[in-house]
A and B are shown apart, each in its own frame.
Chain A
Amino acid sequence: MTHVDRRVRLAILERFAETGEAPTAADVAAAIGEYEGVVAEAYSRLADARLLVLGTGTRDIWMAHPFSAVPTGFRVETERGSSYANCVWDALGIPAMLGTDARIETTCADCGESLELRVRGGDLEPLDWVAHFAVPAARWWDDIGHT
């Protein structure tokens, strides 16, 4: 990863944490004082390195793990803002990454019953639920939208 790639990666995550939305290359360029074209090239390199997932044929961010640019069934509120995660792992990953408390709204994927998870002071509650991965780890990137 180049120096620019590192700055772009961080700026994307910080922007997601604050706004819940994916920044464009122009947004990031303004935030870090770089040319938009330089940032756009960094987006491509970060996607090649699987540190971003871009929309097919675009430079629009779809995922910057743990954040999702599109609404999902995993909404996360922290003191910094509201955002969407890609899955329940990523939903828990947002407070883990930010070091903050959080409230996570999701549902049981089977019955649709609401599951509200809270992270407080580094502890998760409630704990009376389970997680399920359908796809083995070695195949996650075959289709990162379905794991």
Chain B
Amino acid sequence: MTTESRLQKLLEKGEFVVTSECGPPRGVNPDIIRKKGELLKDTVDAVNVTDNQTSVVRMSSISSCILLKQLGMDPIMQMVTRDRNQIAIQSDIIGAAAHGINNILCLSGDHQHFGDHPKAKNVYDLDSVQLIQTVRHMRDEGKFLGGDDLDGVPKLFIGAAANPFADPFEVRVPRLAKKIAAGVEFIQTQCIYNLDKFEKWMEGVRERGLHKKVHILAGVTPFKSVGMAKYMKNRVPGMDVPDAMVERMQSVEKEKQPEEGITICVETIKRLKEIDGVHGIHIMAIEWEEKVPEIAERAGLLPRPKL
């Protein structure tokens, strides 16, 4: 199904796309998300809005998406299955579609253990694969999971995440295949630092022809400092940061480290652009959205195409 998603239309035209992400505020001020939106507006084709990422309570993804939509952007509503059962999930899907949101990213979400409410109950009525199935079912069959007909279907372009660096490595291509079998249409990957491993994963993807069945957007996150590189390497599960990259950050003086982080990110994007089957870049500049235009510019991703 072709939706009103700008991201989908560009991908189907064969354009190499650029997405980024916005973390919603920890309070009621809508200007915070608007400001982040303005920083990204002319640099990216669509922007993800995280859903209580790292299990820290923030403004809801759906309401932040509405604020970005009002700026004329094409938001990608991230939805995790941690906090909602199938009733709430379906309700939010149709609510988002009613507000003109065109994209959804289906995730299981970080465990609440990592967040600011570690004593909370988790839901996990569905997992991420089943969430993909749910959106497809509502959109393409026009039915709720319970079997009743929907009065108008949510026309959402359906995405999911893939982490080529988590263990076991052998399961990572089959896991992508499962998401494709469930009906996913685009994939945004975990931050890529270990390019050799990513290329190995992409080889597996191509061997099975999966790159022709789904649009893969390669994820990148610039380091602000050597401290951040070490944190990502040692403390973030499923993240693969090669020693050489940490050493490179270490080798420059502190004031120059942000610039070095950006340079590494730009070099990474240039290499990713050359990989067969990669259809776009997803730039996750964590609380550093103002650097996305510079990264995109230096990586030769600008100007963004018009529809």
Whether chain B is bound by chain A comes out as: no
